[in-house]
Amino acid sequence: MSAKGSFYITTPIYYPSSKLHIGHTYTTVAADVMARYKRAQGFDVMFLTGTDEHGQKIENVAKAQGKAPKEFLDKVVAEIKDLWKVMEISYDKFIRTTDDYHERRVQMMFEKLYEKGDIYKGTYEGMYCTPCESFWTESQLVDHKCPDCGREVTKTSEEAYFFKMSKYQDRLLDLFENVEGFAEPKSRVNEMVNNFIKPGLEDLCVTRTSFDWGIPVPFDPKHVIYVWLDALSNYVTALGYPEEVDGDFAKFWPADVHLVGKEIVRFHTIIWPAMLMALDVPVPKKVFGHGWILLEGGKMSKSKGNIVDPVVLIDRYGVDALKYFLLREYSFGQDGIFTNEVLLNRLNSDLANDLGNLVSRTVAMIEKYNGGVIKKGSAVTAFDASLSALAEETIGKVEERLDKLDFSTALDEIWKLVRRTNKYIDETSPWALAKDEHQKDVLDTVLYNLAESIRIVSALIQPFMIHTSRKIWTQFGLEEGDLTHWDSARSFGLLPEGLQVTKAEALFPRIDVPKELES
Ligand code: ME8
């Protein structure tokens, strides 16, 4: 294990009922940035994502296409993996709930809970929402409809197995009230405690007999294991539990953070910890329920068809621009509205103007005034100290923000440095210095400081925009290594003399917004 220790981060495992949209991309990009950041800091990282493949909904979609579930799923899963490849998602493991090892381990977990008496056989009577695959009690319904999606629920009665969730009520309350940072943001804690735990937890129906596309109960195979039990278990089966507990499971569990959308916080902060408590397994350190990306008409939904396709945006503006936009524009815990105009204005102001111009102006000036060679002047200007101080301080601020999963303000800290560096150009006016040969040493200092500040920016943006960092390194004659490493952003003044800069095309071309919105 690395000196820094391990870091385990997960995304939800997505339903491969159709192509993924920008909402799924949002969670996955956030997890990817955290994984890259922690690796850059020297942690031993496990980043898990995957697909949730069982249940009636998937069975129905496959049937509608005239396909067997697995045949349908293999195609959609291949498309999802292609999307993550295009987006350079650096997952370490991709789990499918149809993987043999997962199915076997879920059965083992079910048996363990049954043997312990925490799963028992009874009769289920209640309300079921088919699209959400969720059971609800009458009191949880909103206007007699599913509280998650607002759709019709149907009354169901059948023999079923139950998980003794009620037994864990007090321990769950203790978890919410006394374990700092378990559920975040804080607003979600109150919702869970007041709406779900305090009114009293009921035992959870954890099997179905009305469809077959699922993992059978090992000792009673006409019952299929409830999809949420199957799905949540992925976070530990992927690590070997309960078959192999000495390898990845020992190293990475408990998870440092499960990233999820706010609509599934309930499953992750109540059902999942209760299951783990019953299995005598530690609960995850944190469940972070982020907000939704909404369209003007409401939440994107595969079934409503009002989705934004990430591939279309990537083809038009590039992967880095999309990643930057998603994490900079929206505050991670809150909802935000997606419009093309918001996207384009953000790309123009932050990427084309602030960062793109800074790099192209600096490279152009080093070419024009110094034949493309970076020189270290010995003079100082009145503006150097504040630039270098901010440059050295920025990494600490970014780390503090990222450790709180506050991506938007982390990027803003980096952009404060970008804007400060642009201001340094205005303050020092290199074009004026270039006209006076007595100022040559000052000019060298200024150009060096600009290059050095850009190097620090490029090291800090790498978890978010690896292509852009690489393009900057190429323009400044840098190879990936000590001078581009995350920690290199702690020190100003590392660039050696004599590096050769090379002009390249603009990092982010300026977009003509009215024209683009018309097309
Ligand atoms: O719920 N804005 O899968 P799913 C932000 N299989 N995030 C969004 C979003 C939006 N508009 N739409 C989707 C499932 N997401 C289960 C999970 S985990 C053990 C099982 C993201 O395909 C967000 O992370 O419906 C949300 O929680 C997830 O996709 C839901 O994906």
Ligand 1 pocket: which of 18, 25, 27 to mutate (most atoms within 8 A of CB): 27
Residue type, 218: P
pLDDT at 296: 80
Could you identify the atom of ligand 1 that is nearest to the CA of residue 51? 6
Q: How much is the pLDDT for 306?
A: 64
pLDDT tens for 259-292 read 999 999 999 999 999 999 999 999 999 999 999 9
Task: Tell which atom from ligand 1 comes closest to the C-alpha of 263.
Answer: 27
Q: Which of 31-45, 133-147, 217-231, 415-429 has the lowest mean pLDDT?
A: 133-147
Q: What is the mean pLDDT of residues 147-156?
A: 88
Q: How far is CA 90 from CA 9, 33, 189, in A?
A: 12, 9, 30
Give distance in angstroms: CA of 301 to centre of ligand 1. 10
Segment holding 9, helix H or strand E: strand 6-14
Residues framing ligand 1 (Cβ under 6 A): 12-15, 23-24, 26-27, 52, 231-232, 234, 260-261, 263-264, 292-293, 299-300
DSSP 340-370: HHHHHHHIIIIIIIIIIHHHHHHHHHHHHHH
Q: What spacing in Å lies between the alpha carbon of 153 and ligand 1's midpoint?
A: 21
The predicted pLDDT at position 299 comes to: 66
Mean pLDDT value across residues 347-368: 98
Q: Is the peptide bond before 430 cis (omega within 30 degrees of 0)?
A: no
- 8-state DSSP, 103: H
CA 52 to ligand 1 center in whole angstroms:
11
Q: How confident is the model at residue 57 (pLDDT cuts 50, 70, 90)?
A: confident
Q: Residue with the nearest Cα to atom 21 of ligand 1?
A: 24
Centre of ligand 1 from the C-alpha of residue 407, in Å: 19
Q: Whose CA is nearest to atom 14 of ligand 1?
A: 14
User: Quick one: pLDDT at residue 300?
Assistant: 67
pLDDT score, position 209: 87
Spatial distance between the Cα atoms of 226 and 135, rounded to a whole number of angstroms? 10
Q: How far is the CA of 232 from the centre of ligand 1 (A)?
A: 13
21: CA distance to ligand 1 center in Å? Answer: 10
Residue 135 has pLDDT above 90, yes or no: no
- To test the ligand 1 pocket, which listed residue (264, 331, 337, 338) has its Cβ within 8 A of the most ligand atoms? 264
Binned at pLDDT 50, 70 and 90, residue 305 comes out as: low
Mutate to test the pocket of ligand 1, among 21, 22, 26 (most ligand atoms within 8 A of CB): 26
- Taking CA atoms only, the protein residue closest to ligand 1 atom 27 is 261
3-state secondary structure 161-223: EEECHHHHHHHHHHHHHHCCCCEECHHHHHHHHHHHHCCCCCCEECEECCCCCCCECCCCCCC
Q: How confident is the model at residue 161 (pLDDT cuts 50, 70, 90)?
A: very high
DSSP E strand stretches across 115-168: 119-129, 134-136, 154-163
Tell me whether residue 129 is annotated as binding: yes
More confident residue, 3 or 285: 285
Q: What percent of the chain has pLDDT over 70?
A: 97
Ligand 1 closest atom vs CA 15: 22
How close is the Cα of 170 to the center of ligand 1, in Å? 29
Q: What is the ipTM of this complex?
A: 0.99
Distance (angstroms) between ligand 1 centre and the Cα of 28 equals 10
The residue whose CA has the least distance to atom 3 of ligand 1 is 14
Q: Which atom of ligand 1 is nearest to the CA of 293?
A: 2
- For residue 299, give the ligand 1 atom closest to its CA: 11
What ranges in 260-309 are assigned the alpha helix state H? 265-266, 272-278
Task: Kindly state the average pLDDT of the residues 151-170.
Answer: 92
Question: Candidates 260, 301, 326, 330: which one to mutate for ligand 1, based on the most atoms within 8 Å of Cβ?
Answer: 260
Distance 310 CA to ligand 1 centre (A): 15
Tell me the CA–centroid distance for residue 260 and ligand 1, in Å.
7
Q: Is 205 marked as a binding-site residue?
A: no
In ligand 1, the atom with minimum distance to the C-alpha of 11 is: 24
On the question of pLDDT at 215 being above 80, the answer is yes
The SS3 call for residue 291 is coil
Q: Exposed e or buried b for every residue in 447-479, given b needs 16+ CB within 10 A?
A: bbbbbbbbbbbbbbbbbbbbebbbbbbebbbbe
